[in-house]
Chain A
Amino acid sequence: MKTTYRLLALALLVSGACSFDITNPNTPPLLGANPTREQVQEAVSGLLLGARADYADWALEAGIVGREAYRFDASDPRWIDELLTGPLDPGNIRFGGDHWFEQYRNIRTGHNILKVIGTATALTAQEQDAVRGFVKTVQALDFIAVLDAHGQDSIPIAVSGDPVKDPPAPFETNTVAWAYVSALLDTAENLLRTGGSAFPFQLTSGFGGFSTPATFAKFNRALKSRVEVYRGSMLLFGCGVDGTTCFGRALTILEDPDSSFLSTTAPLSRGVYHVYGTGSGDLANPLFQDTATSIQLVHPSIFTDAESSSAIPRQIDRRFATKVARTAPPRSGGDPPLASDLVWIRYLSPIDPVPIIRNEELILLRAEARLGTGNLSGALDDVNVVRQTSGGLDPIALATWTALTPDEQLNRVLKERRYSLLFEGGHRWIDARRTNRLAQIPIDRPPDPAANFPGDVVHKTWPIPTDEVLARKPLP
C-alpha cells in the first residue's frame, strides 16, 4: 500500500524533525555536583530564604498561643478557634500541622549542599569547610524551630536519605534531639574555625557583623548557649542535677567574650536578623500591619502586666511603649467575642527585620544560666541591665532579689524575657513550656456551658503532622 508508506514516511519525518525532549523552562534543576561559586551563593541565599520562610508566621502563631497577640481575621476563624480554643488539627499544613515542613525543607536544602560541596573545584578546602559550617548552623537553627514548636514529642533527625526510596527517618525523643542539635552546633563551629577568614559567599544585611567564619561562629555559639539554657531548664538527660551541667556549658560561652557577642554595653539590638523585602520574589514582613486597619492586635495582658518606673511622672516599661500603641474603638473578633485596643508597632514597615537572636536575649540567657548555677547576684546584674537599659525601669534591689524563692527569681527573669523579646518568636510560650509555667499564661474565655463553649486552653505543644504519622503506618 502506497498510502501506508506515505503515512509512515510522514510519521518518521515529523518524529525525526522535532525534539520531544523539552526541558523545564520554569525552575532550575537540583543543585548538582561541582557547583560554581555562583551556585554556592544561590544555595546559601536559598538557605537563608528557607530559614525565613516560616519564622514570622511562627512568631505570630506562637505569640497568639502564648497570649502576646490576637489575630481577628473573620475569614479564617482558626486564628482564634484553633489556636486559643483548640484542638490543634495536625491534618492541615496550616495551623496545627505547621512549623514542621518548611524547616525540614530547609534542612533538605542544606543536605543537598553538603552532598555536593566536596566536589566544588571552584572552592578551596577551607572554603568548603566554611560552607559546611554555615549549612550545619542553619540546619541546627531549623531543628531548634521544630523542637520549639513540638516540645512534648519526638522528631525525626536522620532526614538526609532519599525522600522516596528510603524509609522515613525514625523518631528520636526530645532529649536525644536537643543533644543532637547541641552537637551539630559544635561540629559546625569546628568547621567554621577551620574555614578561613572569609566566606565564599555574601550574607544578608541581617548578618551585619557576623559575616565571616569567625564572627558567624559567634552566632553559632549564641544558638548553642540558647540550646544549653533550654536543655538545662528542661532538666534533660545529660544536664546534671538541676540542669547545672547545661547551664554551665551556656555560661562558658556567655562569659567568654571570644566566643559570645554578649555585651552589656553594646546595643541590645546587636545580633542576627531575618530580613524582609518587597522586591520581586521577596517576602514582606507579615508581622507588620498598618495600625489604622490592623487585625493583629496585642493581648490586653501585655498592658496590665507591664511595670512602670517609680520616677514621677511614672513611665510605663519602655519595651511596652515602643512596641505597642493604643487604638480606638477597640477591635474584636471570635465567638464568644474577644477584644483589644492595642496594636503592634514592634515592626514599623514591611521591610523591618525580625531578630533571630540578639544581645538582649543573650544577657537574659546568662541571667537564667547564672540563676541555674547559683550565681544569684550575677543573675540580678543581668536582669537589672535589661530592666534599666531596655525598659527604663527601676533596678531590683539585691535584698528584694535574695528574698525571692528560686521559682520567683526565675519568674522575674522570664518576665524580662517576655517584654524584651515581645513578638519576636513566640518566646513567652516557649519559655513557659520549658520552665513548666504554662499555667501562668492567662486564659480569656472560660467554659460557658450555656453557650456550648468549651473554654480556651493553652496548648502544650504542636502535634506531629498527620502525614508524618501516616507515612510510618503500614498500609491498610
Chain B
Amino acid sequence: MRTRSCLVSVALALSFGAASANAQQRQITGRVTSATTGDAVVGASVAVVGTAIVAATGNDGRFTVAAPEGDVTLVVRRIGFKRKSVSVPAAQSSVDVALELDVFNLEAVVVTGLATGIEQRNVANAVSTVGAEQLTRAPTPTIESALQGKIPGALVQMNSGAPGGGGQITLRGVSTIIGSVDPLIVLDGIVISNLAINNNANAITESRVGGNPSPQDNPVNRIADLNPADIDRIEVLKGASAAAIYGSKASNGVVIITTQRGRIGAPRFHLTQRLGTYALAHKLGFRNWRDSTEAVTGIWADSALIGQLCPASSGCPFFDHEKELFGRHDLSEETFASLTGGTEQTTYYVSGLVKDEAGIAINTGYQKQALRLNMDQRVSDRISAALGANLIHSLARRGLSNNDNTNVSPYIALAFTPTFFDLRSSGGAFPKNVFNSGSSNPLQTLTLMDNTEDVWRYLGTANVAWNAVTTSRNRLRFNAIGASDFFQQRNDFYSPPELWFEPLDGLPGTVVLGKSENRNLNLSGNAVFTHSPEGEAYRATTSAGVQFEERKLNVLLLTGRGLLAGQRNIDLAASQTSEQTIEHTRDLGAYAQEELLLLNERLLLTVGARADRSSNNGDPDKFFFYPKAAASYRLVQPISGVDELKLRAAWGQTGNLPLFGAKFTTDTTSTIEGRVGRIVSKVVGDPNIKPERQTEIEAGFDATLANGRATLNVTAFQKNVKDLLLERTLPPSVGFETQIFNAGRLRNRGIEIGAGWTPIQTAQASLILRGTFFANRTKITELPVPTFQTLGFGTALGTFQIEQGKSATQIVGSVGKDGAGNAIEGVVGDANPDFQVSFSSDIQYRQWSLGMLWDWKQGGDIINLTTFLFDAGRNAVDFVPDGQARRTAFRTNGLTRTYVQDGSYLKLREVTLAYELPEAATRRLFGSKIQRARVSVSGRNLLRFTGYLGADPEVSNFGDQQIGRNIDVAAFPPWRSVFFSIDLDF
C-alpha cells in the first residue's frame, strides 16, 4: 500500500501542463552524405542554430526542416561523423552537406548528469564510450564478454566458462571490502538489477560446509539478460568524480546503456542469422598412468582392482574423461531481426532475438528469446514521449562446477579418478567410481543431473519530456521517467537418486526449486535550464531533479531430499526444507548541477551535488551529500600537429550503500523436532551504519592529432574511500562471529590511457587502430581493527587478508616452516593485475573488412586449487615430475606460493572477417528488395597465451568479488566460439 502511495505522489507531482505550438515560416530541404564514401547519412540531426528546431534525415539522407525567415545556420550532426555548420541565406531553400567521419567519437555527446550531456571535446571526465559497432564486432553469448578489452580502466572478467554468462565489471580497481562490488547499471535512464542469485547447488555440493560462508554456486549476474544487438552505446563513468551525481550507489562506477531508437523514414528491416559452435578452449589434461606398479605405488590401496584395470600385458589404458565431459561442439544458432522507421511524429524500433547455444559440457546450453519495442512519440511541438518495453526469456543449463565438499563437482571428481578407469556407461548404466571418495561418476552426474535457470524479465520505461521554454536564449526542459525492471528467476536443480553419491546421507535424490522475484521500481523527475546570453559569451546549463528507487527481492528455496526414482516433485520427497530471503530497499535522492561553458566553448566549469537517503542506512531519514566539481579547457592547435588539447580535472564523492540488513542484530532460527528455536545470529549489526564515502580526483588530457585522425586520452586518478563498510571478526568467545561497522580507509591510484589512430581513411580502404592501458594500486591506509582474512580456504592454501599498509588484494599464506614445523606466514601473491593492455585493429578494403581485439592482462595472482587437487590426486598431466615437485614444495616446505600462480594472459578476444556483397551480387542473390548483404566469420577467444596451470585465468569461485576474485576451484572450463553470420538490410 505504501508503495502505491509513493507511485501516486510522484505521478501527481510530475503531471505538468501542456504547451503551445510555435509558428514556422519557411522550409529548407537537403541531403546529407558521407564525405568519405558519398553514401547517404541516415538519422543525422539538422538543427537550426538559435532555435529549438531540429529535423532528422531519412533513409536517403534527405531532410526537410522548418526554419524562420532570414539567414540561418544549420548544424548537422550524426554519431560517427564530425558535425558541420552550414549557412543558408534567406533566399536559399536547399542545401547539401557532406560529413567527415568521426572514428573516435570526438564529437559525441557524453553523459554528465542524470539529464544532461556535453560534447566529448568539452567533457571534464574520462568517460569511455563503446559504440554498437564495437559491441557486435563478434557474436557474444552475453553482454559482459562483449565489453572485454574495450574500456580503459575496466577489468571485465568472466567468472567461469559456464553457458549463460556470469561475469564481473570492475571499474578502476578496488573501492570496497565488503560492500557491493558491481557498478550501477543504468539502462535508458533507469537503474536495472544486476543481481546474482544462487541456484543452491550447495544442496549437493555442500561447498559452504568447508568453513566458507559465501555461496560458490557460480551464479549468473542478471546483466547477462540484455541483448547486445539492441544497444546503441554504452558510456562508462568510472569513478566518483564522474559518477557523483548518482550518489550513494555509484562508488563502483556507473555503466550507462542506451538502446537503439527508431529513425525517421520508410521501414527498414535488418536480419542477422548466425550459425556457429562453442568448443573447449583449453584442456587441462590428466596423467597417463604407465602400468599397475606405478598406479599401486600411487595413492590407491586396492592393488587387485588396479591389476585388473591395468593388465601387465598392455599397461594402463587411457580414457579421456575430460573430452567426454567438456568436448561437445554442437551447432549453435542465433537469429536477430529489427525493424525501424517512422515519421516526424512517431518513430519506432522493434527487435527480436532467438538464440540457442549449445554448451561445451554434457547437458549444458543457453537459450534466449527477447523482444524490444522502443517508440518515440511527439505529442506536440513541446511534448514528447519515449517509451521502451523489453521482454526477455533466458534459459541456462549450467552443469555443475566450482568447489564442493562431496566430490561431485566434475573436475574435483576427476582429480581423484585415474584415467585408466572407464567411467562411460555400458547399456545405460554408469559404473560406480570406486576411486572417488564420494563414489561419484562425473559422466553420470552431468548426464542425469539437471541445473536449469529459467528467467523471465520485463523492462519497461516511459520518459516524458516537456520543452517548457524554447527561445534562442533560454531553454527549459522537464522530463519524468517512470520505469520498472521485473524478473522472475526459477532454478530447477535435480540430482536423481540413482546418482552414485546420492544415497550417502540416507536420503537419495535431491531436488531444489528456487523461485526468485525481483522488482526495481524507478521514478524520477528532472529539470534542465539552459541559458546563453546575447553574444553567446557563455552557456549555462542548470539541472536538478529527484530520483526514487525501490528494490524488492524475494527468494524462496525449496529443497527435497529422498526421492522416488523419476519423481521430481518436492512434495514426494522424504525430507523437505524451505528457506526464504527478502530484501527490500527504498532510496530517494535529489541533485542539482550547474555546467558553465565559457570562452567560446573552450572552458567548462561544473559543480553539482546530490543528497541521498536510503532505508539500508542506520538512520533512514538522514540525507548524505555528495558534491562534485570539474573543469576542462580546450587549447586549439597549441603546437603543430595537435589539433586540440584538452586539459581536464574533476573531483567528486560517491557512496556505497550498506548491504541490506547490515543495521540489524537479530536472533536466527532453526528447528529441532519440529519446534522452532531461536539462537543469536552470527553477526552484530550496526544501528548507525552509513554508506562508504569515496572521494576521487582525476586529471588528464585529451589530445586530437593529425586532423582528427588520432586521439590520445591520458588520465590519472586517486580514489580515497573512508568509512569503509567492514565486517570485523569478533573474538569468537563473545558468541558472535562478526560485527559490521564503518571504519578505515583505502586508497586506490591508477593511470589509464586510451589511444586511437586512423592511418588510412579513404573511400576504398581504412585502417583503425585502438589501444588501452590501465594500471592501478590499492592500499589499505587505515584499519582500526586487527588484520583479518576474507575469502580463501585458510592460510595454508592462500587467503585474502586485509591489513593496514598493505595492498587490498594481497594473498597471504605460508612461506616456509620454522624449526618446530609450524608454518611461517607471509605474503604470497596479489590478485591485482600489474597492468592491462588491449589492442584492436579494424581494416577495411573495398568489400572486405577484418577486425580483431587482443586483451592482455599482466600479473594478478590466482589461488589455483584446481591444480592443487589434481596434484593431491596424483593425477595432474605433468605429475611426474612437476606435480611431485609442487607437492613436495607445498607439503614438505610449506610453500603456499606453489599454488598461488601468476594469472597473466593474452587473449585474442575477437576476430571477424567480413565481406560486403557488391550491390549487383546482392540483387542477384536476394532480389531487389535487399539493399545490403554482408557475410562474416567471427571467432571469440580463439587464441590464448598464459603460463597459468588451471583451466583459465579468468575465474572466480566466489562469483563477483573485488577482493577475493581469482580463486580457482574446479571451475567450469573456458570456451571459444566460431560463428558464420549473414546480415541483410532491406
Contacts and interface: CB of A to CB of B under 8 A. Distances in A.
A75 B407 contact: yes
Contacts of A471: 729-731, 786
Given A27-B681, A74-B415, A339-B301, A18 B3 contact: yes
A94 B437 contact: no
A7 B546 contact: yes
B665 A279 contact: no
Given A30-B680, A74-B415, A3 B476 contact: yes
B669 A281 contact: yes
A472 interface: yes
Interface residues of A, number: 111
Range for the number of chain B residues in contact with chain A: 35 or more
A303 interface: no
B661 A20 contact: no
B734 A73 contact: no
A28 B342 CA distance: 56
Interface stretch (A48-56, A226-234, A261-269): A48-56
A439 interface: no
A4 to B, nearest CB: 7
Contact of B873 (A4, A74, A112): A74
A294 B506 CA distance: 10
A94 B211 contact: yes
B350 to A, nearest CB: 33
Contacts of A94: 210-211, 794
A156 interface: yes
Nearest to A168: B731
B682 A281 contact: no
A453 B677 CA distance: 47
Given A7-B546, A14-B9, A29-B666, A104 B732 contact: yes
Nearest to A163: B734
A104 B869 contact: no
A155 B732 CA distance: 11
Nearest to B587: A20
Interface stretch (A37-45, A391-399, A413-421): A37-45
B586 A20 contact: yes
Contact of B2 (A19, A27, A41, A169): A19
B12 interface: yes
Main secondary structure of the interface of A (DSSP, over half): loop
B867 to A, nearest CB: 14
A14 B588 contact: yes
Interface in B720-757: 729-737, 739
A28 B667 contact: yes
Interface stretch (A85-93, A210-218, A235-243, A402-410): A85-93
A28 B544 contact: no
B6, B668, B680, B739 — most chain A CB neighbours (10 Å): B680
Given A45-B675, A48-B677, A159 B3 contact: no
Given A45-B675, A282-B672, A10 B14 contact: yes
A6 B734 CA distance: 52
B300 interface: yes
A295 B673 contact: no
Interface stretch (B90-98, B310-318, B614-622): B614-622
B407 to A, nearest CB: 5
A68 B819 CA distance: 30
Contacts of B211: 92-95
A220 interface: no
A42 B668 contact: no
Interface stretch (B64-72, B522-530, B637-645, B770-778): B522-530
Contacts of A28: 666-667, 669, 678
B735 A159 contact: yes
B664 A76 contact: no
Contact of B507 (A93, A350, A475): A350
B674 A279 contact: yes
Interface in A328-369: 329-333, 335, 337, 339, 349-350
Contacts of B707: none
Nearest to B300: A332
Contacts of B302: 329-330, 332
Nearest to B417: A74
A467 interface: yes
B804 interface: yes
Interface stretch (B127-135, B157-165, B571-579, B929-937): B571-579
A104 B794 contact: no
A110 to B, nearest CB: 9
A109 B736 CA distance: 10
B578 A290 contact: no
Contact of B675 (A21, A41, A155, A284): A41
A161 B822 CA distance: 34
Interface in A287-333: 288-290, 292-295, 329-333
Contacts, number: 346
A49 B667 contact: no
Given A13-B13, A473-B786, A163 B304 contact: no
Interface string B801-816: 0001000000000000
A341 B891 CA distance: 27
B676 to A, nearest CB: 6
A467 B673 contact: no
Interface in A96-111: 100-101, 104-109, 111
A74 B407 contact: yes
Contact of A292 (B301, B407, B503, B794): B503
Nearest to A18: B6
A81 B872 CA distance: 11
A436 interface: no
A11 B784 contact: no
B985 to A, nearest CB: 44
Contacts of B676: 42, 45, 281
A468 B733 contact: yes
Given A14-B588, A28-B678, A278 B3 contact: no
A381 B409 CA distance: 54
B155 interface: no
B888 interface: yes
Contacts of B677: 42-50
A246 B684 CA distance: 40
Contacts of B733: 100, 104, 155-156, 159, 168-169, 468
A293 B664 CA distance: 43
A467 B730 contact: yes
A108 B684 CA distance: 13
A48 B672 contact: yes
B258 interface: no
Contact of A76 (B210, B620, B786): B210
A400 interface: no
Interface string A183-207: 0000000000000000000101100
Nearest to B14: A10
A283 interface: yes
Nearest to B613: A20
A46 B679 contact: yes
Given A101-B737, A105-B680, A164-B684, A278 B613 contact: no
A275 B672 CA distance: 8
A278 B503 contact: no
A325 B16 CA distance: 82
Nearest to B440: A293
Interface string B575-599: 1111011101110101000000000
B10 A109 contact: no
Contact of A104 (B673, B734, B892): B734
A13 B561 CA distance: 50
Interface in B948-976: none
A77 B796 CA distance: 12
Contacts of B439: 292-293
10 contacts: A3-B476, A20-B620, A29-B664, A48-B677, A74-B407, A101-B735, A105-B735, A111-B735, A337-B301, A467-B788
Given A20-B614, A289-B504, 14 more contacts: A17-B8, A42-B669, A42-B675, A73-B407, A75-B437, A76-B405, A81-B891, A156-B731, A164-B739, A281-B577, A294-B504, A350-B507, A467-B730, A468-B731
